[in-house]
A and B are shown apart, each in its own frame.
Chain A
C-alpha cells in the first residue's frame, strides 16, 4: 500500500475499443462465404442426385444424361465450355469454403483459450463440422478421380471414359468403394443438415415464419439427397443394377 502520484502511477482507466480494424478477412464475411458456397454445393448436390437417379432408367438414358451434361447450353455456348465454367465455379467455391472453414476453425480454437469446454449438450453435428468437412473433402477428390478423371487405382479397372453407367456400376461393385461411399453419405447428412440450418443465421434471416419454412425445406432436401445417393451403391451391391 503505497501512495503514488497521478503522473507516475495513474488510476487505471477502462480500455477503449480498438482503433484498428479486426483481423482480415472479417469473420462475418468468412461465415457468409461459407453459407453461400455451402448453399451452392447443396444445390449442386440436389441436381446431381436427381441426375444420378437416372441410373435406374438404364444405361442408355444415363449415358445420354451424362453426355447432355458435357454439352450443356450447346449451341449457345460451344463444346464443353459451360461444363468448364461450371467446374471452375465449383472448384473456386470449394477452395473458398475450405479456406474460410480453416480460418474460422483456427480463430475459434484461439478464442476459446487454454480451457477447452468439454461438457456440451447439443449439436454434435456443429462441433464435428471440421471433421465431416475434411472427410467429405477427401471423398470429393476421390470421387472426381474415380468417376470423372478415371485415374487408377481410384477408378475401377474397367473404367472407360464416356461410359458413365458402366463406370458407375463397376466402381460400386467394389465393396470397399460402396462402403466408403455409404459412410460418406451418412457424414454428408450431418454436414448438410447443420450447414443448411446454419445458413439462416449466417445470412441473417430473423423472421420466424421464414426460419420455420427454411428448416423444413432444408431437412427434406438433406434427407432426399442422402437417401437418393445412398440407394445407388446399395442397388449395385444387391444386384439390382448391373
Chain B
C-alpha cells in the first residue's frame, strides 16, 4: 500500500448526477428537468465540437439543426474520414422486433454484464432507450441498412449476447453510418449553422472562471496556433488505443485532445480499461504499419481453433478434426465462439503464448468457416462478409474460402476516457464528451456493436438535450475575449511545447519513442497485468519520458505542414497517459473485464472481481505540480450501484 501511495493520492467520492429513481426512468426524468433555450436565442450560443466521427458529427449536426452556432474542428481534410468509418460489423439496437426475447432491459443486462459491472447502469439504459430511434434516424439520413427479402431491416447476432440485435450494412456499417453523419453535418455547414474548420488539431483547452470556454488549435497546413472561444466545448475525439503503437486504430487517432483537457482539470476515468479485440490480423512483418481488424461478426459463422498439440506446424487442412482444439467451444459451451471480446482475447493469447500458435510467426489461431460454408453455401457467406474476406485475402494472400483465417488479438477500443456525469459533462463545467473519448456505457469491456451505438446516442440523442440545459442560464454571457489571460496563456503554453519539441536537439525520431512505449505497455499492461510488471512499466515510461524532452529529434519547422511535429506532440501525451494507465492498472486491485490482474484470478485463469472495494469508477485528477501530493495523480471515485442488473460474477460457460 505504501508503494501505491507513492504513486497516487486517493481523492473523494464524486457524484455522477444520476437521477435518484430507477435507472430505467432516469433519462426520461432527466430530460424533463433539463432547461430549454428559446429557438430565437439559440444562435447567440457558440458551441465548439472537436472531432467529426459519429459522436462529433452527430452532435454538431443536431445542435446546428436546433439553431445553435456550432464551430466544428477536425484534423482531417473532410468530416467523413473520422475513424468511426472503419467500424465493420454493426450497430446494436434493442428494437426487439423478433421473437428471440430481446428488450431494452435485456440490452442493459448484456451491456452491464459484458462490461463486468464497471459501467453506469443509467447510462446503459439511455443507450438502449435512445438506441431504438438511432436506427430510424441513421436510416433516414441515408445509411442503407441490410434488408430482409420482405423489406424489413435485417439483424445479426454479435459476441457477448444471445439475441440478434445488430443492424448492419455488409461489413462496412461504420462507414455507412459515418458517411450519413458526415453528410448531415455537411448539410448544416452548407446552411451556415455549423462552421467547419478542417486540418486543425486541438492542442489545448481553455478554461476560464471554472468553465471550459474554448480551444487552442494548430493549423496543420500553416502551422499557426490560434484560439477560439465558445460557451461550451464538446470533445468527440475518439479513443487512445494507439498508445500501444500498433493497434487497429487509424494512424492519426490520438489522445492529445482528451489528455490536454485532463491536464486542464477534466478527470480521466478508468484509463486501464482497454479492449483487446480477439479477431485482428496477426502481424506479418516489422514494416506492417498497423494491425487490421477483422470484424467480430465473423465469429457468428467462423469457429476458432488451434492445434491440439503445441508446435503442430501442419497445414490446417492436414490437421484432422480430432486433433483440433476448438478451445472457446470447449471452455465456454453456452456462448462458444460468441463469448465477449475480453474472454476471447485472453483465451487466444493464452493459446498463443502456450505454444499453440499457428502461422509463420506462431502468433495466431485459426478462424475457420468450413462448417458454415458447408451449411449455408458460399453465396450466403460471401454476401455476409465479402469485403472482410477480400481484405483478408489481400493482406495475407490466402483465400478464406479455402484456408482458415489466421487471427490474433489486438488493441482496439478504450472503455476508459474522460469522466463525465450522466449529462455527458466532464468535471470541467461546459466541457462535454461524446463517443469513445468518454467512458460510462461500456464499463470494463465493451460489447461488439455497442460503440457505433454509443457514438450515435451521445451525438444525436444525448448532447443535444444536455448541452442546451447547461447553456440556458448563460444567456447574455459574452464570449470570452481572445485577449483574456486564460486564452493567451493557453496559446503560449502550446507554442512553448511545440518549440521545446522542435528545439530538443536529440537524435531519436518521435516514432521510436512511440514504438518503445508501445512495447512496454504491450508487455506489462495488455491482456494480463501483474503488480511487478506494472511497476516496472511505470519506471520505464518515466525514464522514456525524461529522455523524450531532451532526446527527441523533430525535423522541419513549426510554421508549415510538419507530420513529425504532429506525431511528436501526440507521443509526448502518450508518455504521460501511459503512466496513468499503468498507475490505474496497479491501483485497481481486482480483475474486471479487459483488466485482468494475474494476482486477482481464479485458479483456471478467470477474472475475479472485488465488488466490495471496486464497484466504482476511478476518476483521475491530474497531479498537482506543487504542494502536498505534487507529481501524484489524485484518484477520485464514483461509486456505482446496480439496481436492475444485480451484481453477479460473469459466467459464459
Contacts and interface: CB of A to CB of B under 8 A. Distances in A.
Interface of A: 1-6, 9-14, 16-17
23 contacts: A1-B223, A1-B225, A1-B495, A1-B558, A1-B559, A2-B224, A3-B227, A3-B488, A3-B495, A5-B483, A6-B227, A6-B229, A9-B224, A11-B200, A11-B219, A11-B226, A12-B197, A12-B219, A14-B195, A14-B196, A14-B198, A16-B190, A17-B190
Interface size class of B (residues with CB under 8 A): 20 to 34
Interface string B215-239: 0010100011111110000000000
Nearest to B79: A14
Contacts of B488: 3
Contact of B197 (A1, A3, A11): A11
Contacts of A10: 226
B228 A13 contact: no
Contact of A6 (B200, B228, B492, B499): B228
Contacts of B219: 11-12
A14 B499 CA distance: 28
B153 interface: no
Interface in B406-426: none
B96 to A, nearest CB: 38
Contacts of B223: 1
Interface string B58-86: 00000000000000000000000000000
Contact of B224 (A4, A13, A14, A17): A4
Contacts of B229: 6
A12 B559 CA distance: 16
Given A9-B226, A11-B228, A14-B197, A3 B491 contact: yes
Interface of B: 189-190, 192, 195-198, 200, 217, 219, 223-229, 482-483, 488, 491-492, 495, 498-499, 558-559
Contacts of B482: 5-6
A1 to B, nearest CB: 5
Contacts of A13: 195-197
B189 to A, nearest CB: 6
Contacts of A4: 224, 226
Contact of B492 (A3, A5, A14): A3
For the complex of A and B, the 8 pairs showing the least CB-CB separation, nearest first, are A14-B196, A3-B491, A5-B482, A11-B197, A1-B558, A11-B226, A13-B195, A1-B495
Contacts of B227: 3, 6
A125 B483 CA distance: 64
Contacts of A16: 189-190, 192
B497 to A, nearest CB: 11
A190 B139 CA distance: 45
B285 to A, nearest CB: 30
A241 B160 CA distance: 85
Nearest to B196: A14
A17 B192 CA distance: 11
* Majority secondary structure of chain A interface residues (helix, strand, loop or mixed): loop
Contacts of B491: 3
Nearest to B490: A3
* Majority secondary structure of chain B interface residues (helix, strand, loop or mixed): mixed
A2 B219 CA distance: 12
Contacts of B558: 1
Nearest to A5: B482
A6 B481 CA distance: 9
A4 B223 CA distance: 12
Contact of B226 (A3, A14, A17): A3
Contacts of A11: 197, 200, 217, 219, 226, 228
A10 B228 CA distance: 9
A6 B215 CA distance: 12
A5 B499 CA distance: 20
Contacts of A2: 224
A139 to B, nearest CB: 48
Given A11-B219, A11-B226, A12-B219, A1 B196 contact: no
Contacts of B200: 11-12
Contacts of B492: 3
Contacts of A17: 190
Contacts of A5: 482-483
B228 A14 contact: no
A9 B488 CA distance: 15
A16 B558 CA distance: 28
Nearest to B479: A6
Contacts of A14: 189, 195-198
A13 B192 CA distance: 11
A16 B226 CA distance: 22
B583 to A, nearest CB: 33
A34 B195 CA distance: 41
B635 to A, nearest CB: 35
Contacts of A6: 226-229, 482
A3 B189 CA distance: 26
A2 to B, nearest CB: 7
A4 B483 CA distance: 10
A11 B214 CA distance: 13
Contact of A1 (B189, B198, B224): B224
B70 to A, nearest CB: 12
Nearest to B191: A16
Given A1-B223, A11-B217, A11-B228, 19 more contacts: A1-B499, A3-B225, A3-B226, A6-B226, A6-B227, A6-B228, A9-B224, A9-B226, A10-B226, A11-B197, A11-B200, A11-B219, A12-B197, A12-B200, A13-B195, A14-B195, A14-B198, A16-B190, A17-B190
Contacts of B195: 13-14
A7 to B, nearest CB: 8
Q: Which of A3, A5, A10, A13 has the most C-beta atoms of chain B within 10 angstroms of its own C-beta?
A: A3
Q: Which of A5, A9, A14, A16 has the most C-beta atoms of chain B within 10 angstroms of its own C-beta?
A: A14
A9 B217 CA distance: 13
B29 to A, nearest CB: 39
Nearest to B491: A3
Contacts of B198: 14
Nearest to B200: A11
Nearest to B229: A6
A9 B196 CA distance: 16
A40 B22 CA distance: 75
Nearest to B198: A14
Contacts of B228: 6, 11
Nearest to A16: B190
Q: Which of B483, B491, B558 has the most C-beta atoms of chain A within 10 angstroms of its own C-beta?
A: B491
A130 B229 CA distance: 56
Contacts of A9: 224, 226
B204 to A, nearest CB: 12
Contacts of B225: 1, 3
A14 B186 CA distance: 10
B293 to A, nearest CB: 30
B51 to A, nearest CB: 15
A5 B498 CA distance: 19
Nearest to A17: B190
A24 to B, nearest CB: 23
A224 to B, nearest CB: 41
A10 to B, nearest CB: 8
A41 B228 CA distance: 62
A85 B380 CA distance: 60
A95 B385 CA distance: 53
A225 B495 CA distance: 73
Nearest to A13: B195
